[in-house]
Protein backbone atom coordinates (compact mmCIF):
# COMPACT_ATOMS: atom_id res chain seq x y z
CA UNK A 1 0.00 0.00 0.00
CA UNK A 2 1.22 3.52 -0.79
CA UNK A 3 1.49 5.71 2.26
CA UNK A 4 -0.51 8.93 2.27
CA UNK A 5 0.44 11.96 4.32
CA UNK A 6 -1.56 15.09 5.01
CA UNK A 7 -0.21 18.45 6.10
CA UNK A 8 -0.67 19.60 9.67
CA UNK A 9 -3.43 22.15 10.33
CA UNK A 10 -2.30 25.76 10.46
CA UNK A 11 -4.01 28.30 12.71
CA UNK A 12 -5.29 31.33 10.83
CA UNK A 13 -4.62 33.41 13.94
CA UNK A 14 -0.83 32.98 13.69
CA UNK A 15 -0.42 35.74 11.14
CA UNK A 16 2.88 37.57 11.52
CA UNK A 17 1.50 40.40 9.42
CA UNK A 18 -1.06 41.38 12.03
CA UNK A 19 1.07 40.77 15.13
CA UNK A 20 3.39 43.74 14.79
CA UNK A 21 4.80 45.39 17.91
CA UNK A 22 6.94 48.30 16.75
CA UNK A 23 8.76 49.79 13.79
CA UNK A 24 12.30 48.49 13.42
CA UNK A 25 15.25 50.75 12.63
CA UNK A 26 17.29 49.19 9.79
CA UNK A 27 20.32 50.97 8.31
CA UNK A 28 19.10 54.30 9.62
CA UNK A 29 15.55 53.93 8.23
CA UNK A 30 12.42 52.91 10.09
CA UNK A 31 10.57 49.97 8.57
CA UNK A 32 6.77 50.24 8.51
CA UNK A 33 4.89 48.08 11.04
CA UNK A 34 3.27 46.17 8.18
CA UNK A 35 5.10 45.74 4.85
CA UNK A 36 3.58 48.22 2.44
CA UNK A 37 3.88 45.78 -0.46
CA UNK A 38 1.46 43.53 1.46
CA UNK A 39 -1.11 46.33 1.49
CA UNK A 40 -0.43 46.96 -2.21
CA UNK A 41 -1.05 43.29 -3.04
CA UNK A 42 -4.26 43.28 -1.00
CA UNK A 43 -5.54 46.04 -3.27
CA UNK A 44 -5.34 43.69 -6.26
CA UNK A 45 -6.86 40.51 -4.87
CA UNK A 46 -10.33 41.73 -3.89
CA UNK A 47 -12.46 43.61 -6.43
CA UNK A 48 -14.74 45.14 -3.79
CA UNK A 49 -11.75 46.40 -1.79
CA UNK A 50 -10.08 48.07 -4.78
CA UNK A 51 -13.40 49.38 -6.11
CA UNK A 52 -14.25 51.02 -2.77
CA UNK A 53 -10.85 52.72 -2.58
CA UNK A 54 -11.03 53.93 -6.18
CA UNK A 55 -14.56 55.22 -5.63
CA UNK A 56 -13.52 57.19 -2.54
CA UNK A 57 -10.44 58.47 -4.37
CA UNK A 58 -12.45 59.75 -7.33
CA UNK A 59 -15.25 61.31 -5.29
CA UNK A 60 -12.83 62.92 -2.84
CA UNK A 61 -10.66 64.38 -5.61
CA UNK A 62 -13.76 65.75 -7.34
CA UNK A 63 -15.09 67.31 -4.13
CA UNK A 64 -12.20 69.79 -3.77
CA UNK A 65 -10.83 72.72 -5.74
CA UNK A 66 -7.05 72.87 -6.03
CA UNK A 67 -4.44 75.52 -6.76
CA UNK A 68 -2.54 75.54 -10.04
CA UNK A 69 0.63 74.30 -8.31
CA UNK A 70 -1.07 70.95 -7.58
CA UNK A 71 -2.30 68.82 -10.48
CA UNK A 72 -5.39 66.66 -10.08
CA UNK A 73 -3.35 63.67 -11.20
CA UNK A 74 -0.98 64.13 -8.27
CA UNK A 75 -3.91 64.75 -5.91
CA UNK A 76 -5.60 61.48 -6.94
CA UNK A 77 -2.36 59.55 -6.53
CA UNK A 78 -1.86 61.09 -3.09
CA UNK A 79 -5.39 60.11 -2.05
CA UNK A 80 -4.90 56.59 -3.42
CA UNK A 81 -1.77 56.18 -1.31
CA UNK A 82 -3.47 57.60 1.77
CA UNK A 83 -6.40 55.19 1.45
CA UNK A 84 -4.22 52.19 0.60
CA UNK A 85 -1.27 52.63 2.97
CA UNK A 86 -2.57 55.11 5.53
CA UNK A 87 0.19 57.48 4.38
CA UNK A 88 0.29 60.15 1.67
CA UNK A 89 3.28 62.28 0.71
CA UNK A 90 3.70 65.52 -1.23
CA UNK A 91 7.03 67.08 -2.13
CA UNK A 92 6.96 70.86 -1.83
CA UNK A 93 9.03 72.29 -4.69
CA UNK A 94 10.21 75.90 -4.33
CA UNK A 95 12.06 78.19 -6.72
CA UNK A 96 15.43 79.85 -6.07
CA UNK A 97 17.17 76.74 -4.75
CA UNK A 98 14.33 75.93 -2.39
CA UNK A 99 14.09 79.36 -0.81
CA UNK A 100 11.54 81.00 -3.10
CA UNK A 101 7.78 80.60 -3.49
CA UNK A 102 6.15 77.23 -4.10
CA UNK A 103 6.06 76.35 -7.80
CA UNK A 104 4.83 72.75 -7.56
CA UNK A 105 3.34 70.29 -5.11
CA UNK A 106 4.39 66.86 -6.33
CA UNK A 107 3.19 63.41 -5.28
CA UNK A 108 5.80 60.99 -3.92
CA UNK A 109 4.83 57.25 -3.93
CA UNK A 110 4.20 56.16 -0.34
CA UNK A 111 5.31 52.61 -1.10
CA UNK A 112 8.94 53.73 -1.19
CA UNK A 113 9.05 56.50 1.42
CA UNK A 114 10.77 55.75 4.73
CA UNK A 115 11.38 57.80 7.88
CA UNK A 116 14.96 58.30 8.97
CA UNK A 117 16.25 58.06 12.52
CA UNK A 118 16.07 61.86 12.74
CA UNK A 119 12.41 61.53 11.55
CA UNK A 120 13.25 63.06 8.19
CA UNK A 121 11.98 61.53 4.95
CA UNK A 122 13.82 59.38 2.42
CA UNK A 123 12.63 58.07 -0.93
CA UNK A 124 14.20 54.64 -1.48
CA UNK A 125 12.75 52.64 -4.40
CA UNK A 126 15.18 49.70 -4.04
CA UNK A 127 15.35 47.73 -0.82
CA UNK A 128 18.99 46.63 -0.92
CA UNK A 129 20.50 49.38 -3.06
CA UNK A 130 20.72 53.16 -2.86
CA UNK A 131 20.09 53.74 -6.57
CA UNK A 132 17.44 56.42 -6.87
CA UNK A 133 17.57 57.27 -3.16
CA UNK A 134 16.60 60.83 -2.23
CA UNK A 135 17.06 62.25 1.26
CA UNK A 136 14.66 65.16 1.61
CA UNK A 137 15.42 68.19 3.71
CA UNK A 138 13.21 69.51 6.47
CA UNK A 139 10.08 71.18 5.11
CA UNK A 140 10.25 69.48 1.71
CA UNK A 141 7.77 66.70 2.49
CA UNK A 142 4.16 66.98 3.61
CA UNK A 143 3.05 63.76 5.30
CA UNK A 144 -0.59 62.95 5.96
CA UNK A 145 -0.99 59.79 8.02
CA UNK A 146 -3.86 57.76 9.40
CA UNK A 147 -3.15 57.52 13.13
CA UNK A 148 -1.93 54.15 14.40
CA UNK A 149 -2.36 53.52 18.12
CA UNK A 150 0.78 51.36 18.31
CA UNK A 151 3.37 53.79 16.90
CA UNK A 152 3.67 57.32 15.52
CA UNK A 153 6.26 56.91 12.77
CA UNK A 154 3.88 55.75 10.05
CA UNK A 155 0.15 55.70 9.60
CA UNK A 156 -1.86 52.57 8.96
CA UNK A 157 -5.12 52.32 6.99
CA UNK A 158 -8.32 51.37 8.75
CA UNK A 159 -8.78 48.32 6.56
CA UNK A 160 -5.87 46.50 8.25
CA UNK A 161 -8.45 44.88 10.53
CA UNK A 162 -10.14 43.39 7.47
CA UNK A 163 -7.11 41.96 5.66
CA UNK A 164 -8.14 38.42 6.59
CA UNK A 165 -11.57 38.96 5.00
CA UNK A 166 -9.94 40.46 1.90
CA UNK A 167 -7.71 37.41 1.48
CA UNK A 168 -10.48 34.96 2.37
CA UNK A 169 -12.51 36.35 -0.52
CA UNK A 170 -9.53 35.80 -2.81
CA UNK A 171 -8.95 32.28 -1.45
CA UNK A 172 -12.58 31.35 -2.11
CA UNK A 173 -12.36 32.61 -5.69
CA UNK A 174 -9.09 30.78 -6.37
CA UNK A 175 -10.46 27.56 -4.87
CA UNK A 176 -13.57 27.77 -7.03
CA UNK A 177 -11.50 28.47 -10.15
CA UNK A 178 -9.19 25.51 -9.50
CA UNK A 179 -12.23 23.35 -8.79
CA UNK A 180 -13.68 24.05 -12.24
CA UNK A 181 -10.31 23.69 -13.94
CA UNK A 182 -9.96 20.30 -12.27
CA UNK A 183 -13.23 19.05 -13.78
CA UNK A 184 -15.56 20.09 -10.95
CA UNK A 185 -14.00 17.84 -8.37
CA UNK A 186 -11.35 18.22 -5.70
CA UNK A 187 -9.33 15.17 -6.70
CA UNK A 188 -9.96 11.41 -6.86
CA UNK A 189 -9.26 8.39 -4.72
CA UNK A 190 -8.39 5.33 -6.83
CA UNK A 191 -8.92 2.21 -4.75
CA UNK A 192 -7.64 -1.14 -6.03
CA UNK A 193 -7.37 -4.62 -4.53
CA UNK A 194 -4.69 -6.29 -6.64
CA UNK A 195 -2.14 -8.46 -4.73
CA UNK A 196 -0.06 -9.23 -7.83
CA UNK A 197 0.67 -5.59 -8.67
CA UNK A 198 4.36 -4.75 -8.51
CA UNK A 199 5.89 -1.69 -6.92
CA UNK A 200 6.78 -0.35 -10.37
CA UNK A 201 3.18 -0.70 -11.53
CA UNK A 202 1.99 1.13 -8.46
CA UNK A 203 4.49 3.91 -9.08
CA UNK A 204 3.34 4.21 -12.71
CA UNK A 205 -0.28 4.54 -11.63
CA UNK A 206 0.66 7.06 -8.97
CA UNK A 207 2.61 9.14 -11.50
CA UNK A 208 -0.36 9.25 -13.86
CA UNK A 209 -2.62 10.36 -11.03
CA UNK A 210 -0.36 13.23 -10.03
CA UNK A 211 -1.93 16.65 -10.50
CA UNK A 212 -0.73 18.62 -13.47
CA UNK A 213 1.53 21.59 -12.88
CA UNK A 214 -0.44 24.55 -11.60
CA UNK A 215 -3.39 22.48 -10.36
CA UNK A 216 -4.36 22.81 -6.72
CA UNK A 217 -5.85 19.36 -6.03
CA UNK A 218 -4.17 15.99 -5.71
CA UNK A 219 -5.33 12.45 -6.43
CA UNK A 220 -4.70 9.48 -4.13
CA UNK A 221 -4.02 5.83 -4.90
CA UNK A 222 -4.57 2.94 -2.50
CA UNK A 223 -3.91 -0.74 -3.23
CA UNK A 224 -5.25 -3.10 -0.57
CA UNK A 225 -3.34 -6.07 -2.09
CA UNK A 226 -6.21 -8.54 -1.70
CA UNK A 227 -6.96 -7.76 1.92
CA UNK A 228 -10.70 -7.42 1.21
CA UNK A 229 -13.21 -8.28 -1.48
CA UNK A 230 -13.92 -4.78 -2.76
CA UNK A 231 -13.74 -4.09 -6.47
CA UNK A 232 -11.66 -1.22 -7.88
CA UNK A 233 -13.28 2.15 -7.31
CA UNK A 234 -12.66 5.71 -8.47
CA UNK A 235 -14.19 8.07 -5.93
CA UNK A 236 -14.24 11.87 -5.94
CA UNK A 237 -12.56 13.15 -2.78
CA UNK A 238 -14.89 16.12 -2.56
CA UNK A 239 -17.61 17.77 -4.55
CA UNK A 240 -18.95 21.31 -4.41
CA UNK A 241 -22.70 21.00 -4.45
CA UNK A 242 -25.50 23.54 -4.12
CA UNK A 243 -25.00 23.59 -0.37
CA UNK A 244 -21.36 24.66 -0.55
CA UNK A 245 -20.30 27.82 1.23
CA UNK A 246 -18.66 29.63 -1.70
CA UNK A 247 -21.47 32.12 -2.16
CA UNK A 248 -21.82 32.61 1.59
CA UNK A 249 -18.09 33.31 1.94
CA UNK A 250 -18.17 35.81 -0.92
CA UNK A 251 -21.16 37.65 0.51
CA UNK A 252 -19.80 37.75 4.05
CA UNK A 253 -16.37 39.01 3.00
CA UNK A 254 -18.02 41.61 0.78
CA UNK A 255 -20.02 42.84 3.76
CA UNK A 256 -16.82 43.03 5.81
CA UNK A 257 -15.04 45.08 3.15
CA UNK A 258 -17.96 47.47 2.73
CA UNK A 259 -18.12 47.93 6.49
CA UNK A 260 -14.39 48.73 6.53
CA UNK A 261 -14.66 51.41 3.87
CA UNK A 262 -18.13 52.69 4.80
CA UNK A 263 -19.07 53.05 1.14
CA UNK A 264 -22.78 52.61 0.29
CA UNK A 265 -22.95 49.73 -2.14
CA UNK A 266 -25.66 51.53 -4.13
CA UNK A 267 -23.18 54.26 -5.08
CA UNK A 268 -20.78 51.65 -6.44
CA UNK A 269 -23.39 50.45 -8.97
CA UNK A 270 -23.65 47.05 -7.28
CA UNK A 271 -27.11 45.58 -6.90
CA UNK A 272 -27.81 43.50 -3.80
CA UNK A 273 -30.36 40.71 -3.80
CA UNK A 274 -33.54 41.31 -1.78
CA UNK A 275 -32.63 44.98 -1.33
CA UNK A 276 -35.16 47.52 -2.52
CA UNK A 277 -34.12 50.72 -4.25
CA UNK A 278 -33.09 53.54 -1.94
CA UNK A 279 -33.18 57.28 -2.40
CA UNK A 280 -29.74 57.72 -3.97
CA UNK A 281 -29.86 61.48 -3.42
CA UNK A 282 -30.03 60.96 0.34
CA UNK A 283 -27.45 58.17 0.26
CA UNK A 284 -25.04 60.32 -1.74
CA UNK A 285 -25.48 63.34 0.53
CA UNK A 286 -24.96 61.28 3.70
CA UNK A 287 -21.80 59.74 2.23
CA UNK A 288 -20.56 63.19 1.25
CA UNK A 289 -21.31 64.66 4.70
CA UNK A 290 -20.20 61.76 6.90
CA UNK A 291 -17.26 60.38 4.93
CA UNK A 292 -15.89 62.84 2.38
CA UNK A 293 -16.03 66.03 4.44
CA UNK A 294 -13.97 64.55 7.33
CA UNK A 295 -11.36 63.38 4.81
CA UNK A 296 -11.33 66.82 3.18
CA UNK A 297 -10.82 68.33 6.62
CA UNK A 298 -7.75 66.11 7.04
CA UNK A 299 -6.50 67.09 3.57
CA UNK A 300 -6.66 70.75 4.54
CA UNK A 301 -3.66 70.20 6.80
CA UNK A 302 -1.78 70.78 3.56
CA UNK A 303 -3.00 74.39 3.58
CA UNK A 304 -1.47 74.92 7.01
CA UNK A 305 1.77 73.29 5.89
CA UNK A 306 2.28 75.50 2.80
CA UNK A 307 0.87 78.66 4.39
CA UNK A 308 -1.90 79.43 1.91
CA UNK A 309 -5.16 77.92 0.66
CA UNK A 310 -3.95 75.30 -1.78
CA UNK A 311 -7.23 73.37 -1.76
CA UNK A 312 -10.77 74.02 -0.56
CA UNK A 313 -14.14 72.31 -0.50
CA UNK A 314 -16.22 72.46 -3.65
CA UNK A 315 -19.90 73.20 -3.06
CA UNK A 316 -21.88 69.99 -3.03
CA UNK A 317 -24.44 71.29 -5.53
CA UNK A 318 -21.67 72.15 -7.96
CA UNK A 319 -19.91 68.84 -7.61
CA UNK A 320 -22.87 66.48 -7.96
CA UNK A 321 -25.63 66.57 -10.55
CA UNK A 322 -28.84 65.05 -9.22
CA UNK A 323 -32.02 64.29 -11.08
* Residue 89 DSSP SS3: strand
Tell me if 297 is assigned to some domain. Answer: yes
CA–CA gap between residue 55 and residue 268 (Å, rounded): 7
Domain identity same for 143 and 203: no
Domain identity same for 230 and 296: no
pLDDT of residue 14: 42
Q: What angle is formed at CA 107 by the lines to CA 89 and CA 86, rounded to 5 degrees?
A: 35
Tell me if 173 is assigned to some domain. Answer: no
Domain identity same for 100 and 220: no
CA–CA gap between residue 105 and residue 306 (Å, rounded): 10
Domain identity same for 189 and 152: no
Residue 70 · residue 311 · CB < 8 Å: yes
Domain identity same for 154 and 200: no
Comparison of pLDDT for 212 and 54, the residue scoring more: 54
Tell me if 5 is assigned to some domain. Answer: no
pLDDT of residue 273: 63
Domain identity same for 153 and 191: no
CA–CA gap between residue 57 and residue 66 (Å, rounded): 15
Per mean pLDDT, which range of 47-61, 206-220, 262-276 is the poorest? 206-220
pLDDT of residue 4: 47
pLDDT over 70, % of the chain: 78
Number of domains in the chain: 2
Tell me if 258 is assigned to some domain. Answer: no
pLDDT of residue 92: 97
Mean pLDDT for the stretch of residues 113-121: 96
Domain identity same for 63 and 152: yes
Nearest to 101 by CA among 91, 89, 111, 93: 93
Tell me if 256 is assigned to some domain. Answer: no
Domain range for 196: 185-236
Tell me if 13 is assigned to some domain. Answer: no
Q: Is the pLDDT of residue 244 over 60?
A: no
Q: 255-299 pLDDT, tens per residue?
A: 898 889 999 888 887 666 655 557 888 888 999 999 999 999 999
Domain identity same for 142 and 195: no
Domain identity same for 30 and 137: yes
Dihedral sign, Cα of residue 259, residue 265, residue 267, residue 269: positive
Q: 126-178 pLDDT, tens per residue?
A: 988 889 999 999 999 999 999 998 889 999 999 998 999 998 888 888 877 77
Mean pLDDT for the stretch of residues 182-186: 63
Q: Is the pLDDT of residue 75 over 90?
A: yes
Tell me if 115 is assigned to some domain. Answer: yes
Tell me if 242 is assigned to some domain. Answer: no
**How high is the mean pLDDT of the chain?**
82
Amino acid sequence: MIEIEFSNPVSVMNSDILSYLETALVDGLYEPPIPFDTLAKALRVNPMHSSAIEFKRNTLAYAVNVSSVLSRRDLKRFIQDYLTFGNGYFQIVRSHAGKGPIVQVKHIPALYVRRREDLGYTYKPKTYEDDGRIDFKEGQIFHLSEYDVAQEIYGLPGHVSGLTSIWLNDDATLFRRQYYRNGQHAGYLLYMNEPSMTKKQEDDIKAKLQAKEGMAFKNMFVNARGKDTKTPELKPIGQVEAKDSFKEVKNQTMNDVLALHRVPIELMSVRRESITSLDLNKVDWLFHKNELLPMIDALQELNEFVGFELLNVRNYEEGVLLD
